[in-house]
Amino acid sequence: MGLEEFRNRLTDAQPSLRGWGDFVRETVKAISKAESITLQILSSRVKEIDSAIGKLSRKPYKNPMSDMTDLVGVRAVCLLSPDVEKLCSSLVSHPVWKIQKSRDTSKEYEQAPEKFGYQSHHFEVRAKVDFNADGVFIPADTCCELQVRTLMQHAYAEVVHDSIYKSSWGAPSRAIRFVSSSAALIETADHLFCETMNVLELETKSRAARAAYGALRFKNKHQGVQRSKVQHDGFGRA
Protein backbone atom coordinates (compact mmCIF):
# COMPACT_ATOMS: atom_id res chain seq x y z
CA MET A 1 0.00 0.00 0.00
CA GLY A 2 1.39 3.39 -0.99
CA LEU A 3 1.68 6.31 1.40
CA GLU A 4 -1.03 8.36 -0.32
CA GLU A 5 -3.50 5.47 -0.35
CA PHE A 6 -2.74 4.84 3.32
CA ARG A 7 -3.33 8.51 4.11
CA ASN A 8 -6.72 8.46 2.39
CA ARG A 9 -7.84 5.24 4.05
CA LEU A 10 -6.62 6.40 7.45
CA THR A 11 -8.45 9.70 7.04
CA ASP A 12 -11.68 7.85 6.21
CA ALA A 13 -11.17 5.54 9.20
CA GLN A 14 -10.81 8.32 11.79
CA PRO A 15 -14.42 8.12 13.08
CA SER A 16 -14.30 4.32 13.51
CA LEU A 17 -10.87 4.45 15.18
CA ARG A 18 -12.06 7.14 17.58
CA GLY A 19 -15.28 5.23 18.22
CA TRP A 20 -13.41 2.00 18.99
CA GLY A 21 -11.04 3.83 21.31
CA ASP A 22 -13.98 5.39 23.15
CA PHE A 23 -15.67 1.99 23.43
CA VAL A 24 -12.54 0.32 24.83
CA ARG A 25 -11.96 3.19 27.27
CA GLU A 26 -15.52 3.08 28.59
CA THR A 27 -15.41 -0.72 28.88
CA VAL A 28 -12.18 -0.50 30.89
CA LYS A 29 -13.86 2.12 33.08
CA ALA A 30 -16.85 -0.18 33.70
CA ILE A 31 -14.61 -3.17 34.48
CA SER A 32 -12.55 -1.09 36.91
CA LYS A 33 -15.68 0.09 38.70
CA ALA A 34 -17.01 -3.47 38.96
CA GLU A 35 -13.68 -4.61 40.45
CA SER A 36 -13.50 -1.62 42.85
CA ILE A 37 -10.29 -0.43 41.20
CA THR A 38 -9.62 3.31 41.27
CA LEU A 39 -7.95 4.46 38.06
CA GLN A 40 -5.53 7.37 38.40
CA ILE A 41 -5.57 8.02 34.64
CA LEU A 42 -7.81 6.68 31.86
CA SER A 43 -7.37 8.18 28.41
CA SER A 44 -7.72 7.37 24.72
CA ARG A 45 -6.11 8.85 21.64
CA VAL A 46 -6.06 8.36 17.88
CA LYS A 47 -2.61 8.39 16.31
CA GLU A 48 -1.85 11.49 14.27
CA ILE A 49 -2.05 10.75 10.55
CA ASP A 50 1.39 12.21 9.83
CA SER A 51 2.88 10.15 12.66
CA ALA A 52 1.35 6.95 11.24
CA ILE A 53 2.65 7.78 7.75
CA GLY A 54 6.11 8.40 9.18
CA LYS A 55 6.01 5.02 10.88
CA LEU A 56 4.97 3.34 7.61
CA SER A 57 7.86 5.00 5.76
CA ARG A 58 10.32 3.64 8.35
CA LYS A 59 8.83 0.16 8.62
CA PRO A 60 6.93 -1.33 5.68
CA TYR A 61 3.66 -3.08 6.52
CA LYS A 62 1.88 -5.42 4.13
CA ASN A 63 -1.51 -4.19 5.37
CA PRO A 64 -0.88 -1.17 7.62
CA MET A 65 -4.56 -0.60 8.43
CA SER A 66 -4.66 -3.90 10.33
CA ASP A 67 -0.97 -4.57 11.01
CA MET A 68 -0.29 -1.18 12.62
CA THR A 69 -1.77 -1.94 16.03
CA ASP A 70 -1.42 1.50 17.65
CA LEU A 71 -3.56 3.62 15.31
CA VAL A 72 -5.81 4.06 18.34
CA GLY A 73 -4.72 3.57 21.93
CA VAL A 74 -6.09 3.52 25.47
CA ARG A 75 -4.05 3.90 28.64
CA ALA A 76 -5.20 2.85 32.10
CA VAL A 77 -3.06 3.83 35.09
CA CYS A 78 -3.57 2.26 38.52
CA LEU A 79 -1.96 3.27 41.80
CA LEU A 80 -0.08 0.04 42.58
CA SER A 81 0.79 -3.28 40.92
CA PRO A 82 -1.90 -5.45 42.62
CA ASP A 83 -4.59 -3.31 40.98
CA VAL A 84 -2.80 -3.64 37.63
CA GLU A 85 -2.76 -7.44 37.90
CA LYS A 86 -6.40 -7.55 38.99
CA LEU A 87 -7.49 -5.30 36.12
CA CYS A 88 -5.48 -7.24 33.52
CA SER A 89 -7.03 -10.50 34.69
CA SER A 90 -10.51 -9.07 34.15
CA LEU A 91 -9.59 -7.55 30.79
CA VAL A 92 -8.34 -10.79 29.25
CA SER A 93 -11.45 -12.69 30.33
CA HIS A 94 -13.95 -10.12 29.11
CA PRO A 95 -16.15 -11.56 26.33
CA VAL A 96 -16.82 -8.34 24.42
CA TRP A 97 -13.53 -8.32 22.47
CA LYS A 98 -10.57 -10.32 21.22
CA ILE A 99 -7.51 -9.54 23.29
CA GLN A 100 -3.91 -10.71 23.33
CA LYS A 101 -0.72 -9.49 24.91
CA SER A 102 1.35 -7.66 22.32
CA ARG A 103 4.54 -7.27 24.34
CA ASP A 104 6.12 -9.18 27.19
CA THR A 105 7.93 -6.28 28.82
CA SER A 106 9.24 -8.47 31.65
CA LYS A 107 11.25 -10.54 29.16
CA GLU A 108 12.37 -7.39 27.34
CA TYR A 109 13.61 -5.99 30.63
CA GLU A 110 15.52 -9.18 31.43
CA GLN A 111 17.23 -9.09 28.03
CA ALA A 112 18.00 -5.37 28.03
CA PRO A 113 17.48 -3.70 31.42
CA GLU A 114 19.17 -0.51 30.25
CA LYS A 115 16.56 -0.10 27.51
CA PHE A 116 13.31 -1.40 28.98
CA GLY A 117 13.03 -0.02 32.47
CA TYR A 118 9.33 -0.33 33.10
CA GLN A 119 7.05 -3.32 32.92
CA SER A 120 3.64 -2.09 31.90
CA HIS A 121 1.20 -4.44 30.19
CA HIS A 122 0.53 -4.01 26.47
CA PHE A 123 -2.49 -5.59 24.79
CA GLU A 124 -3.98 -5.67 21.31
CA VAL A 125 -7.75 -5.34 21.67
CA ARG A 126 -9.78 -6.07 18.53
CA ALA A 127 -13.48 -5.87 17.72
CA LYS A 128 -14.95 -9.35 17.34
CA VAL A 129 -17.57 -8.38 14.76
CA ASP A 130 -18.83 -5.36 12.84
CA PHE A 131 -21.00 -3.24 15.13
CA ASN A 132 -22.22 0.28 15.80
CA ALA A 133 -21.08 2.24 18.84
CA ASP A 134 -23.08 5.41 19.48
CA GLY A 135 -23.93 5.62 15.79
CA VAL A 136 -20.36 5.00 14.59
CA PHE A 137 -19.63 1.91 12.50
CA ILE A 138 -16.76 -0.18 13.92
CA PRO A 139 -15.41 -2.81 11.48
CA ALA A 140 -14.49 -6.23 12.84
CA ASP A 141 -10.80 -6.59 13.75
CA THR A 142 -10.31 -2.87 14.38
CA CYS A 143 -7.36 -2.80 16.78
CA CYS A 144 -6.69 -0.70 19.85
CA GLU A 145 -3.41 -0.77 21.77
CA LEU A 146 -4.25 -0.95 25.47
CA GLN A 147 -1.57 -0.14 28.04
CA VAL A 148 -2.03 -0.83 31.75
CA ARG A 149 0.58 0.37 34.22
CA THR A 150 1.13 1.77 37.69
CA LEU A 151 1.35 5.48 38.39
CA MET A 152 5.11 5.26 38.98
CA GLN A 153 5.62 3.29 35.76
CA HIS A 154 3.64 5.97 33.97
CA ALA A 155 5.82 8.74 35.37
CA TYR A 156 8.93 6.82 34.32
CA ALA A 157 7.60 6.26 30.80
CA GLU A 158 6.64 9.91 30.38
CA VAL A 159 10.14 11.03 31.36
CA VAL A 160 12.20 8.59 29.30
CA HIS A 161 10.10 7.64 26.26
CA ASP A 162 10.90 10.57 23.98
CA SER A 163 13.97 11.99 25.70
CA ILE A 164 15.87 8.68 26.02
CA TYR A 165 14.54 5.87 23.85
CA LYS A 166 13.32 7.90 20.87
CA SER A 167 16.04 10.51 20.92
CA SER A 168 17.46 11.14 17.44
CA TRP A 169 20.94 11.91 18.75
CA GLY A 170 21.29 9.22 21.42
CA ALA A 171 21.16 9.81 25.15
CA PRO A 172 24.39 10.16 27.18
CA SER A 173 25.44 7.03 29.05
CA ARG A 174 25.17 8.93 32.33
CA ALA A 175 21.50 9.69 31.65
CA ILE A 176 20.87 6.02 30.82
CA ARG A 177 22.50 4.97 34.11
CA PHE A 178 20.23 7.35 36.01
CA VAL A 179 17.22 5.91 34.19
CA SER A 180 18.26 2.34 35.02
CA SER A 181 18.67 3.27 38.68
CA SER A 182 15.24 4.90 38.77
CA ALA A 183 13.67 1.76 37.27
CA ALA A 184 15.03 -0.31 40.17
CA LEU A 185 13.74 2.26 42.65
CA ILE A 186 10.28 2.11 41.07
CA GLU A 187 10.08 -1.64 41.64
CA THR A 188 11.32 -1.27 45.23
CA ALA A 189 8.95 1.60 45.99
CA ASP A 190 5.97 -0.32 44.59
CA HIS A 191 6.86 -3.31 46.80
CA LEU A 192 7.18 -1.11 49.90
CA PHE A 193 3.92 0.71 49.18
CA CYS A 194 2.13 -2.64 48.73
CA GLU A 195 3.52 -3.90 52.04
CA THR A 196 2.43 -0.64 53.67
CA MET A 197 -1.11 -1.11 52.37
CA ASN A 198 -1.13 -4.71 53.63
CA VAL A 199 -0.07 -3.60 57.12
CA LEU A 200 -2.70 -0.85 57.17
CA GLU A 201 -5.39 -3.27 55.99
CA LEU A 202 -4.49 -5.77 58.72
CA GLU A 203 -4.52 -3.00 61.32
CA THR A 204 -7.92 -1.78 60.12
CA LYS A 205 -9.36 -5.30 60.35
CA SER A 206 -7.81 -5.78 63.80
CA ARG A 207 -9.26 -2.50 65.08
CA ALA A 208 -12.67 -3.37 63.64
CA ALA A 209 -12.57 -6.79 65.30
CA ARG A 210 -11.60 -5.27 68.67
CA ALA A 211 -14.37 -2.69 68.36
CA ALA A 212 -16.92 -5.38 67.51
CA TYR A 213 -15.75 -7.51 70.44
CA GLY A 214 -15.97 -4.53 72.79
CA ALA A 215 -19.46 -3.71 71.57
CA LEU A 216 -20.54 -7.33 72.07
CA ARG A 217 -19.15 -7.40 75.62
CA PHE A 218 -20.92 -4.14 76.43
CA LYS A 219 -24.18 -5.50 75.00
CA ASN A 220 -23.91 -8.75 76.98
CA LYS A 221 -23.02 -6.86 80.15
CA HIS A 222 -25.94 -4.48 79.66
CA GLN A 223 -28.33 -7.39 79.07
CA GLY A 224 -26.98 -9.11 82.20
CA VAL A 225 -27.63 -5.99 84.26
CA GLN A 226 -31.15 -5.77 82.90
CA ARG A 227 -31.86 -9.41 83.75
CA SER A 228 -30.52 -8.94 87.27
CA LYS A 229 -32.69 -5.88 87.74
CA VAL A 230 -35.79 -7.74 86.55
CA GLN A 231 -35.04 -10.65 88.89
CA HIS A 232 -34.40 -8.29 91.81
CA ASP A 233 -37.64 -6.40 91.22
CA GLY A 234 -39.54 -9.68 91.03
CA PHE A 235 -38.19 -10.88 94.36
CA GLY A 236 -39.06 -7.55 95.94
CA ARG A 237 -42.67 -7.74 94.85
CA ALA A 238 -42.95 -11.33 96.08
Sign of the torsion angle spanned by Cα atoms 89, 35, 142, 54: negative
pLDDT confidence of 127, banded at 50, 70, 90?
Answer: very high
3-state helix, strand, coil in the chain (%, to 5): 60, 20, 20
Domain boundaries of the chain, sorted by first residue? 3-171
Residue 72: beta bridge partners? 46
The number of residues making up the chain comes to: 238
How confident is the model at residue 62, as a pLDDT?
86
Task: List Cβ neighbours of 5 (8 Å cut-off, separation of 6 or more).
Answer: none
The yes/no answer on whether domain 3-171 falls in CATH 3.30.460.10 is yes
Is the pLDDT at 104 greater than 70, yes or no? no
SS3 for 113? coil
How confident is the model at residue 94, as a pLDDT?
93
Is the pLDDT at 133 greater than 70, yes or no? yes
pLDDT confidence of 85, banded at 50, 70, 90?
Answer: very high
